[in-house]
Structure 1
Amino acid sequence: MKMKTLVAALCLFSLPFTASATSTLVDTTQEAQRIQGAHNVQRESGFKQTEQSIRAQRDALFKQRVQLQTETDQLSQTFSKNENNLATLEEQLRLETGSLGELFGVVRQAAKDLNQELEISVTMVDRAKYAPVVDQIVDAKALPSMVQLNGLWLGMVEQIEASAQLASVSVPFINAEGHQANINAYRLGSMGLIGEQGYLAWNGDRIVAKPYLKQPANGPVLSGLASMSQVGIMSVVVDPSRGIMLEQLANAPELKDRLEHGGVVGKVILGLLAIGAIITLFRGSKLFIVRQKIKAQLKRPNEPGNNPLGRILNVYSLGVNQADLNIKEQPRSVEALELRLLEAIVDEQQELEKGLSMLKLLAALAPMLGLLGTVTGMIETFQVITQFGNGDPKVMAGGISTALVTTVLGLISAMPLLLAHNILSTQADAVRNILEKQGISLVAEQAEKVGSAA
């Protein structure tokens, strides 16, 4: 009971405070609603202005799009019209030009040919006035002009005239030491240049001349041409290839180079040839002297000398004199005298044929050594092919050269050795025949004496 009374009292006490708080809250809420309403009105006004601005921009863009579309349609029509006009003009150009395209190809090809001629021809020294025009035609991408066509024609005429001219010119020259200077030379048409050193190699890229490594035999020089021009008669050795053959002269191996290619086997073959030559000269001179002495001895048979026939006569004379001085002894028989003479002839024959067997041996060994060098060179060649393949012929050239050179050296050595052996053998046989004939005549004479004495 007391609790209820207390709660009721508290409620009555708090009632004024609640009413006051409620009134304050209502006022605050109304004020907030008024502020929010004003703010909403302001925002709606801003939204309306933004909407109007966007609609204005949209209308402007729509208008601009329509304008651009119109311009695009107009440009498309203009482009299509221009395309049609261009196609019509191209067809008209093709029809009007006709064969000018082919003419341009012919002109350009002619210009290229003339340009290549000018690059290598010695006429560039003093007759290259229209070379720039020719270069322009070669590098051109369009039809040549009349000036260029006229220059091409004049350039051809210039080269034709220059090819028939013999003229003195001044050319830049590089000597063997690398020094460059201008020298006087003589131009033989388009064939070549001649200086004091002989023929000059012309380098069209560097516009300079240099001497060839090797000049042809009886080649012309500048001073000789000057003297011949004064006389009015000119005869010179001309290279029709305009320098190619002259350049190959330097690559042509000389005898020394070929002998070096023979290697050790080639040197051995040459050594055998030298030994054979010495034997040939010695034995040939000795046989010649012997034949001359025998000819002189035949004219004086009663005066035996120091020669093969004289020694045969000495053997005969010794046998006859012994028989005459020793009366009590039995005279030497014909058979014994024949054997003594045969013995002397055999001794002389051995002396005459001394060294001939060596010549025959050397003649047989030379081609065999050549064959040995051939086999050795081919073995070397096959080894090189095994290591490097056969794509480059220069790699195999060394072995093949050795093989061929030794074969040639062997044959060259064998032929004169065989010839010398044959000649010397013939001379020795001739001397031996003379000795045998004289010996037979002496035996026959002695037989006649014995028969008459009996």
Structure 2
Amino acid sequence: MTIKPLILAISLLCFSTYSVSASSELVQETKQASQDQKQHNAQRESGFKQTEQSLKAQKNALIAERKQLQKESDELSAIFSKNEKALATLEQQLHLETGSLGELFGVVRQTAKDLDSELKSSVSGAVNVEHRQLISDIVAAKSLPSMAQLTGLWQTMAQQVNASSELESTTITMINGSGHRQSINAYRLGNMALVGDDGFLQWDNKKQVATYYAQQPELMPTFAILSEMQGQQTIMMASDPSRGIMLEQLANTPTMKERLQAGGVVGKIIIGLLLIGLIISLFNGVRLFVIRQQIRKQLKQPQELGKNPLGRVLAVYDAEKQRSVEALELRLLETIVDEQQGLEKGLSMLKLLAALAPMLGLLGTVTGMIETFQVITQFGNGDPKVMAGGISMALVTTVLGLVAAMPLLLTHNILSSQAESIRTILEKQGLGLVAEQAEKIAQPNAMNMAA
């Protein structure tokens, strides 16, 4: 019983001793950590102070720089204001000194532009023109022209005026049909045209070469003709006052063949009908003319019965002279009707063709418009060239229909008049025969009644 309390007391004493020792070590560690934290804080405070001093120094430097820049800005503003006032004064002085030179510069520049355009488009560019670069400088200038530029301007204008009245022989470069360049002799007609061996030449000022126009006008001048007329005081010749525009349009003018081709199938049918109608008209015209000549001859010699309508009518009377007046009249009427059918043979076809031609023209018009609307549906109406084919077909077929109908109607009317004239002669002769027969029958009856 005594040993256990003793052991317990010893254990408690040992634990107390250990606790005191551990507590003293913890205190020491805490003190050490506190000292370290103080040293660290002291170092951080020292760094913050140094940073604060550096920032203050930078702030002071920036403030000083700002003051310096503000001072310089004020000085520059003052200089700018001073210069602006001086510039305004100089501009006013310049305006007073130049006076109307500003308007003169505008006139000179516009004149230089017109002259520059003239030099670029006129055939006088085929001849060396001085001061060409000077004119370009005046056009591009932003300041008043100098005296040298003004002198060059009026000298160039004088050259152009003189060149417009000259017929001058010169040597130019031409592109031939095979695409090769060659030098040829040509005449310059003022500033309007160039004339070579084969007619008018188209001049390209940029490339300094000439080419013949695709189509030359009638009675065109040539180099040989102008050489022969060189010594004459007055020379009459065809020329293009538009300086080539009309000659270029001449190449775009379609020929008769191209116009007929634009009519398409309908146009060809109309032309075919016209040719058939003209052949029928020519044949009937010749036939009726021959018949009229035969009838005239028959009228002069009624006893000699010929192979013509009047001869056949007279033959009916001579065939049986003892028939009654009514029978003779009916026989003559039958013969005249037969002859009338022969005289009017082919005229009904002419009338049909004359009526059919404008209807075909209307058909071509409708067909061409349908084609035009189809093209518009596919490609739109932005480019008129894509619609030109259908419109051309519509117009050409209309014209062809009218052109075909008018001569056919005219020939039908002429031939009908001739046939009607011949029929009238036959009827008059038939009536005369009937009257003669009636007189022969009435004469014996009168004598019998008198007896």
- Please give the range of the TM-score, normalised by the shorter of the 2 chains: 0.7 to 0.9
Which residue number in structure 1 is paired with residue 348 of structure 2?
A: 357
Cα distance in 2, alignment partners of residues 358 and 212 from structure 1: 47
Q: Tell me the secondary structure at the aligned position of residue 187 of structure 2.
A: strand
Matches within 5 A, 1:366-381: 366-381=357-372
Query: Normalising by structure 1, what TM-score?
Result: 0.79
Secondary structure in 2 aligned to 1:194? strand
Change (3 A) 1:385 1:337: same
**Cα 1:80–1:364 shift into 2, 3 Å:** closer
State the partner residue of 1:333: 324
Instruction: State the 1:129 CA deviation.
Output: 1.5
Provide the residue aligned with 2:137 in structure 1. Answer: 136
Q: Aligned pair in 2 of structure 1 residues 72, 376: CA closer, same or farther (>3 Å)?
A: closer
Q: Distance in 2 between matches of 1:241 and 1:218?
A: 18
* Matching residue of 1:145: 146
Q: How far, CA to CA, are the matches of 1:296 and 1:74 in structure 2? A: 129
Correspondence for 2:402 among 403, 411, 436: 411
Please say if 1:267 is aligned against 2:256.
no
Aligned 8 A contact 1:352 1:428 in 2: yes
What aligned pairs does 1:210-225 form with structure 2 within 5 A after superposition? 210-225=211-226
Match of 1:249 in 2: 250
* 1:370–1:406 Cα contact (<8 Å) kept: yes
CA drift of 1:389 comes to 2.3
Supply the AA of the counterpart residue of 2:361. G
| Offset, 1:112 | 1.3
Q: Give the match for residue 315 of structure 1.
A: 316
Q: Kindly tell me: are residues 382 and 79 of structure 1, through their superposed partners in 2, closer, same or farther at Cα, counting changes over 3 Å?
A: closer
Cα drift, residue 218 of structure 1:
1.1
Q: CA deviation at 1:83?
A: 6.3
Instruction: In structure 1, list runs of 5 or more residues that go unmatched.
Output: 1-57, 321-330
Once residues 242 and 75 of structure 1 are traced to their aligned partners in structure 2, the CA distance between those partners, rounded to angstroms, is 65
Task: State whether residues 173 and 209 of structure 1, in contact with CA within 8 Å, keep that contact through their aligned partners in structure 2.
Answer: yes
The gaps in structure 2 that reach 5 residues or longer are: 1-57, 446-451
Structure 2: how far apart are the matches of 1:446 and 1:90? 124
- 1:272-311 alignment runs, 5 A limit: 272-311=273-312
Is the CA contact 2:215–2:250 (under 8 Å) kept in the aligned structure 1? Answer: yes
Q: Is this contact kept in 2: 1:127–1:162, CA < 8 A? A: no
Secondary structure of 1:181 counterpart = strand
Alignment partners' CA distance in 2, 1:227 and 1:278: 49
Secondary structure at the counterpart of residue 229 of structure 1 = coil
Cα displacement (A) at 1:200: 0.9
CA RMSD of aligned residues (A): 2.7
Select which of 423, 442, 448 maps to 1:451: 442
Label 1:302 to 1:106 Cα distance change in 2 as closer, same or farther (>3 A).
same
Distance (Å, rounded) in 2 between the aligned partners of 1:430 and 1:99: 89
Shift of 1:97: 3.5
Give the distance between the partners of 1:405 and 1:81, measured in 2 at CA.
79
Shift of 1:165: 1.4
Q: CA deviation at 1:427?
A: 0.6
Distance in 1 (alpha carbons) for counterparts of 2:84 and 2:320: 136
Structure 2 contact 126–205 (Cα < 8 Å) conserved: no
Following superposition, the deviation at residue 88 of structure 1 comes to 4.7
The equivalent residue for 2:337 is 346
Quick check: 1:194 aligned with 2:190?
no
Rounded to whole Å, the distance in 2 between the matches of 1:259 and 1:169 is 43
Q: 1:96 to 1:305 in 2, by over 3 A?
A: same
Q: Structure 1 residues 173-182 or 347-356, which shifts more?
A: 173-182
* Preserved contact between residue 202 and residue 210 of structure 2 (Cα < 8 Å): yes
Do the aligned partners of residues 119 and 450 (structure 1) sit closer, same or farther apart at CA in structure 2, a change above 3 Å counting? same
Residue identity matched to 2:393: T
Q: Give the letter for the 1:165 counterpart.
A: E
TM-score (norm: length of structure 2): 0.79
Contact 1:266 1:405 in 2 (8 A): yes
Does structure 2 retain, via aligned residues, the 8 Å contact 1:374–1:403?
yes
CA 1:180–1:337: 2 relative to 1, 3 Å: same
Give 1:442 shift: 1.1
Does the 8 Å CA contact 1:359/1:417 hold for their aligned counterparts? yes
Equivalent positions of 1:106-125 (< 5 A) are: 106-125=107-126
Distance 1:450 1:153, change over 3 A: same
SS at match of 2:210: strand
Which of 406, 428, 431 in structure 2 is aligned with 1:437?
428
State the Cα distance separating 1:412 from its structure 2 match. 0.6
Encode CA deviations 1:107-162: one digit per residue, 9 max, x unaligned. 22221111000001011122512212112222334332211111111111111111
Contact preservation (8 Å) 1:283, 1:424 = yes
Whole-Å separation in 2 of the counterparts to 1:236 and 1:182: 25
Deviations 1:31-54 (A, max 9, x none): xxxxxxxxxxxxxxxxxxxxxxxx
Percent sequence identity over matched residues?
62
8 Å Cα contact 1:127-1:158 kept in structure 2: no
Alignment of 1:425 with 2:416, yes or no, is yes
Query: Which digits, 9 at most, give the CA deviation of each residue in 1:268-326, with x for residues without a partner?
Result: 11011000000000010000011111111111101101111111111111112xxxxxx
> 2:295 touches 2:309 (CA, 8 Å); kept in 1?
yes
2:229 is paired with a residue whose SS is helix
Output the amino acid matched with 1:125.
A
Distance 1:357 1:85 in 2: 102
SS of residue in 1 equivalent to 2:172 = strand
